[in-house]
Amino acid sequence: MKITNTVHALKEWSIAVNALENGKTIMLLRKGGIHEEGGRFKVAHQQVLLYPTYEHQQSFMLKDEYANLVYPVTSGWHPETISMNSWAEITHILPVADESTVNELLPFHIWNEHFISDRLKWKSNQPLFVLLLRTYKLPQVQHIPYSPKYGGCKSWIDLYEQVELEDSKPVLSDLVYSQLVDQICRIIGDKLYAVPR
């Protein structure tokens, strides 16, 4: 059962959030931020607002069609107001350690081979987590004042104010989303990590 409001948010590159919102991908690849609890990535919440970040976006880690859309910002820069257009249900959490398997997933996300190699080498004893997200557009854009509490290299934050999710519309139809999930799970070969409903 879907929640009707939330304060929970997942921080992700703005370019990736935009791709999720436009149905270009249903996939994020994560190993967690530097300040993750216990130094390991964990999915804290199944249903989350998508909080766009700008500071760490690297155009050289993106496929060409996305690299040109990144605007460099100085270290520590953030907008005074965060505009949130969407939220997502994390339907699958799929840990992958094999580079060849991750490379097979290239058609399904926005990053390039350099990003994959970099992420697999960083904390090499830990898997790369493939998150599959069913994204929903909010009925209206939410403008959230920035707080220093939202900064730093962490994946999950709680906002100061609840955001209403009712009347949100899915970006992709049930059929299209389930077809993409099936294709990805066939590549990974393990459906045991689907988030329980």
Residues forming beta bridges with residue 111, ordered by sequence position: 62
Q: How far is CA 171 from CA 46, 66, 87, 98, in A?
A: 17, 19, 10, 30
Q: Is 64 exposed, middle or buried (0-12, 13-18, 19+ CB in 10 A)?
A: exposed
pLDDT in tens, 110-160: 998 887 877 777 766 778 889 999 999 999 999 999 999 998 878 899 999
d(CA 75, CA 97): 31
The mean predicted confidence, pLDDT, of the chain is 86
d(CA 46, CA 43): 7
Q: Across the chain, how many H-helices and E-strands are there? A: 5, 7
pLDDT at 39: 56
d(CA 193, CA 183): 15
pLDDT at 37: 58
pLDDT in tens, 74-98: 877 888 999 999 999 999 999 888 8
Q: Which strand (E) or helix (H) includes residue 119?
A: helix 113-121
Rounded to two decimals, what is the model's pTM?
0.89
d(CA 43, CA 32): 10
Domain ranges of the chain: 5-188
Indicate if the pLDDT at residue 34 is higher than 50: no
* CATH superfamily assigned to domain 5-188: Hypothetical protein. (2.30.130.30)
Residues forming beta bridges with residue 134, ordered by sequence position: 89
